[in-house]
Structure 1
């Protein structure tokens, strides 16, 4: 898959290897402190208990998978000697098992050996039915995990699995230390505050202090497997604020070295870059800004364990409604004001890699008149003259929520206006990103609980194969009280046909056929109202001009190679 670097003025993707600069002959921690800012503050360092990108990426500094994806979307070994394939004998000829050989000598940061027992424990931890694991789709189809010896892991599948790289691959499926999390399995998982805030890891850094929704202080891991790495002795990882302040802190004031996810208008980025202290970098992966449609009833009169569980939604599953809502949106204007060259109009949930980008829909042209005609034809009309249409006597009044961010609030205001022109009334709500994406089962404001009719956000997936990501809409992946409100099926979409087609994808080997099935699943999700895609977003971040080794990665954690970062002299 070709990696795309976007140019912002004189800025370009930094992609050089840093091995010669940060080689093993130099001292670990020689460059002092590096400062990172994520305006969506991490709230936990256990990605199995959070679906938020901010939490997954912060945790990637500490805990790691067996393999991950590089900046080109290529699968590369991380804690293993090589990536198993049929050709090298690591994947069985009948495609029912994959064998990982752990690289000898890897130590946890506490000095104990990293072994296959830790890998098996992680599988047991995430698949415990009472644990509420946010990444359980990574283990779909796994029947068992075996450990023939301390350095060998065998993952067995229930049936032929042509793509066996869901478990233990990428930043969303790292390995937990069995000794540390032994008493945190099942219903106890969310109660283990010390473990979830301060995981022992194999990564380049160790957690010294974690203040949720605020700051993380980390230091170089003395037991890290590569001599001379990391170059920085200390990481200060600041969370919170907003994207504009984060961008200024790198490109204008130089207070920070790396700012993530600068969801800002293009002219704002250009003005910041002109200050000369930092460089924006961007690339297109599968990241999509979308509006999720609630398939359950979020009526506040229902009890807290009934909201977003009781089906159906009073009107959002009517095709005339969700298709009219989509038709009324001017996506080209949203791209122009929100992202410029770092955005593209998309009608798809999965727009990348190119092989899975469907051409079924054309949503690039706004059609207010067409949307009104569609609702009229369906008999969804304004019967009392108050300007709001009704379906079966229920007014089309909705709560539309998202995280607090200038671009998202601009989108909300525009979309509210367009929808008012088709007789739909919308109440806007924005929630602190740290809370919205925090995954706290006790909070009513998380995107998983979805106590609203509509919510807007973006997310992505690791690697270039969307099988696990497409599993997010399987019926049994809906967050609920039983799962401690964890789960990837945020819309509570449920289709037996979709589930069956996804099962077919899981057993299909031919790359062309896999891409075709993926496009069909994408089309079902969109045409059956799980979501309204808006913008295919480039991932835009920025680094200081004194920070070397940054290689933007849109296929895995942006902090994937933080061990290679160093200070330019």
Structure 2
């Protein structure tokens, strides 16, 4: 089976359902609650899901992934394929044809120059682009006319859709951002907080880490959409409050990421105002191991950088022992029930890319103890904490503030204590933890802790760009204003070689084999990433909201233009 026929030939334009409304704004107001409050509306400066998805109401990519993972054209006439001539036979280029007549929300024309600029903006080495892996392998971008974009690759690209597809790679307006290149990117507050877009809504007022008020985009390409004149995206609080606001009080219409115990969700549904929708994709709750030293004793600018390896977690046997001590089945049962699956994989789906590794699913406390003994970590003074060369086996474990995550922290701390590891727990407000503020010491990117826990996923159905995040020199660091995708500062030339090989491999089975090897290098061979639970995306949806389509392959808000209020 060849990727040319299985993937490129399968990309088809699927028409959206007919509109259920007569005119733009006729259905009044819609409310969305993200208990992790957005802190910025530029997805190229933040890897936080709440920032990326909030911006998706305004900024659009050329194409999106629907609720089934299919590619759909948004700003282009069709998804390029070999069959329609949009992808070169030798896979070295892809040509996008923009829809004629699309304008930005400020009324100016949307052109190929904006698409090219977006790539230039993210690929600027001084900019610290949080989505740089999306542009991996691009040699040049040409714009022969206002409606044509030709992307040429350094080598054949079996999956040429990483750039400009999905909510993590939207188009930004050249006129607004052209003075925000490189090191100036973070300084452009107005552009980063109030972006001009082509999407169904525009920002009316943005209070970072609190609330965003949107209004319908009067220049949106479909004169009948969106059905809602205004949209509020409220941030902050917690998952419990968000779920209640939809399913019990009816104050909001969508509650994002209801990371709550199954019995709690069932009780909320009894409120009668809304219901729970869950769908599995590629969202994995994991523990990240910091391979660099986050000690505050180091000079600022050198903490958590590759200049200083981690004094404890650089030891593979320690990382493996920490993984072996965890009971993933119990974590899944108490945290997610049927909306979770114990997992050893960073890439749990699609099925062809999922490794059959199940070794981590069996908790092994005694084996973990033996491994630490073998590594020379022993309790020399009888205080219950192992030590080596005068250094205690003591770790700072951080995550975002959330009831399920704090339950996980408590259990993991107990299991690690059983093997002689002292653990200090820390939880940080989610809006701060997942924010992109380069000055904050508390972001997951800066990683001023030994281990941290969170979840994320990738757009679409191909993991190439996601796995490419772990390339050497792609880590957050002072020179990139702490933006970057390689959160644990992993670096292995052999892994980089596999990134390059994957980018040059066309046969689907061989791509899957490579992806599995890369997944296992990160999770099974090095224990750099310790997967815990393959999570279904759980969302609270109002019973009166129509048109919502639950996608785990794109933004939760990907088809906001099609939402409407159900009539009695």
Aligned-pair CA distance for 1:391: 3.2
Name the CA distance, whole Å, in 2 between partners of 1:473 and 1:182.
29
Alignment correspondent of 2:556: 558
Aligned-pair CA distance for 1:186: 1.1
Name the CA distance, whole Å, in 2 between partners of 1:19 and 1:222.
21
Q: Secondary structure at the match of 1:385?
A: coil
Alignment correspondent of 2:535: 537
Alignment correspondent of 2:377: 380
Aligned-pair CA distance for 1:95: 1.2
Alignment correspondent of 2:154: 158
Aligned-pair CA distance for 1:227: 2.3
Name the CA distance, whole Å, in 1 between partners of 2:82 and 2:549.
30
Contact kept, 8 Å, 1:109 with 1:224, in 2: the verdict is yes
Q: How many residues matched? A: 552
Contact kept, 8 Å, 1:355 with 1:515, in 2: the verdict is yes
Name the CA distance, whole Å, in 2 between partners of 1:21 and 1:79.
18
Alignment correspondent of 1:168: 164
Among 454, 471, 474, the residue aligned to 1:477? 474
Alignment correspondent of 2:261: 265
Alignment correspondent of 1:281: 277
Aligned-pair CA distance for 1:361: 3.6
Name the CA distance, whole Å, in 1 between partners of 2:20 and 2:101.
21
Show CA shifts across 1:400-432 (max 9, x none): 000000000000000001100000000000000
Among 534, 546, 568, the residue aligned to 1:548? 546
Aligned-pair CA distance for 1:393: 3.0
* Residue 403 of structure 1 pairs with residue 409 of structure 2: no
| Alignment RMSD | 1.2
Name the CA distance, whole Å, in 2 between partners of 1:493 and 1:290.
15
* Residue 367 of structure 1 pairs with residue 329 of structure 2: no
Alignment correspondent of 1:426: 423
Contact kept, 8 Å, 1:18 with 1:549, in 2: the verdict is no
Alignment correspondent of 2:45: 49
Contact kept, 8 Å, 2:498 with 2:514, in 1: the verdict is yes
Gaps of 5+ in 2: 1-13
Aligned-pair CA distance for 1:17: 9.1
Name the CA distance, whole Å, in 2 between partners of 1:290 and 1:18.
35
Gaps of 5+ in 1: 1-15
Q: Secondary structure at the match of 1:442?
A: coil
Q: Secondary structure at the match of 1:416?
A: helix
Contact kept, 8 Å, 1:317 with 1:529, in 2: the verdict is no
Contact kept, 8 Å, 2:302 with 2:308, in 1: the verdict is no
Q: Secondary structure at the match of 1:465?
A: coil
Alignment correspondent of 1:78: 74
Show CA shifts across 1:233-273 (max 9, x none): 00011000000000000000111111000000000000000
* Residue 341 of structure 1 pairs with residue 338 of structure 2: yes
Show CA shifts across 1:183-202 (max 9, x none): 11111110111100100000
Aligned-pair CA distance for 1:78: 1.1
Name the CA distance, whole Å, in 2 between partners of 1:189 and 1:152.
27
Contact kept, 8 Å, 1:31 with 1:232, in 2: the verdict is yes
Name the CA distance, whole Å, in 2 between partners of 1:271 and 1:130.
50
Name the CA distance, whole Å, in 1 between partners of 2:134 and 2:121.
13
Aligned-pair CA distance for 1:76: 1.3
Q: Secondary structure at the match of 1:475?
A: coil
Alignment correspondent of 1:240: 236
Contact kept, 8 Å, 2:319 with 2:528, in 1: the verdict is no
Aligned-pair CA distance for 1:21: 4.4
Show CA shifts across 1:144-170 (max 9, x none): 111000000011111111111111110
Among 443, 446, 450, the residue aligned to 2:443? 446
Show CA shifts across 1:66-115 (max 9, x none): 01111111111110111111121111122111100001111111111100
Alignment correspondent of 2:328: 331
Q: Tell me which stretches of 4 or more aligned residues in structure 1 moved more than 6 Å.
A: none
Name the CA distance, whole Å, in 1 between partners of 2:111 and 2:19.
31
